[in-house]
Amino acid sequence: MADFKRRTLILTSGKQIKLYGNSMAIGSSLEVGEGAAPNILSFMEQHPEEKVDTVIPDQPQQNKPIKAQPVSKLAATVLNPHRLTVMEILEMADFNIQLWMQLKDNIRRYGLANPRIFNRDM
C-alpha cells in the first residue's frame, strides 16, 4: 500500500512523488492533484509561552548557581474554521471516497490513457 512521509508519496513500485503540500486531492472531475491548503479540517501544534521554573535543590551545592530552565509543552488543537459537525465531516469523507472509487472504476473500464476516465463533458 502507498505511504505518505515527509511530503513524499511512496508507492509500492518504489516510485516516489515529491509533493509541495501535505496532501493529495481529487476533484469532482476526478482529476488528482495536490491539496496544499489544509483549510477545512487540520491539526496544529501550538507553542505556548515558555515559563521559567526555578528548581531549588533540597541541599545547596558548593557555590553552584541555581539554573532556571524553561518549561514548555506542545499543545495540539484541531482547526475547524467552518465549524463543521461530525456528520458533515463524515459526509465529506464519503463524497471523497466515492470520487476515488469512481476514478478506480473508470480506469478499470477505459484504461489509463483514455480521457473518458474523467467526469467531463466531451
Say yes or no to pLDDT of 12 above 60.
yes
Q: How far apart are alpha carbons 38 and 43 in whole angstroms?
A: 9
**Structural contact between residues 43 and 33, judged by C-beta atoms closer than 8 angstroms:** no
Residue 116 CA: distances (Å) to CA of 24, 25, 111: 21, 19, 9
pLDDT tens digit string along 28-72?
999 999 987 888 998 888 776 555 554 555 555 555 555 666 656
Burial of 25 (0-12, 13-18, 19+ CB in 10 A): middle
Q: H-type helices in 1-122, by residue range?
A: 86-110
- Average pLDDT over every residue of 92-113: 96
Q: Other C-beta atoms within 10 Å of 99: how many?
A: 19
Q: How confident is the model at residue 5 (pLDDT cuts 50, 70, 90)?
A: confident
120: confidence class by pLDDT, cuts 50, 70, 90? confident
DSSP alpha helix (H) spans, 4-85: none
Entry pTM:
0.71
* pLDDT at residue 122, as a whole number: 44
56's grid cell = 531549588
Which is it for the CA torsion 15, 98, 5, 42, positive or negative? positive
Residue 51: its pLDDT value, please? 53
Q: Which of 14, 15, 36, 13 is nearest to 24 (CA)?
A: 36
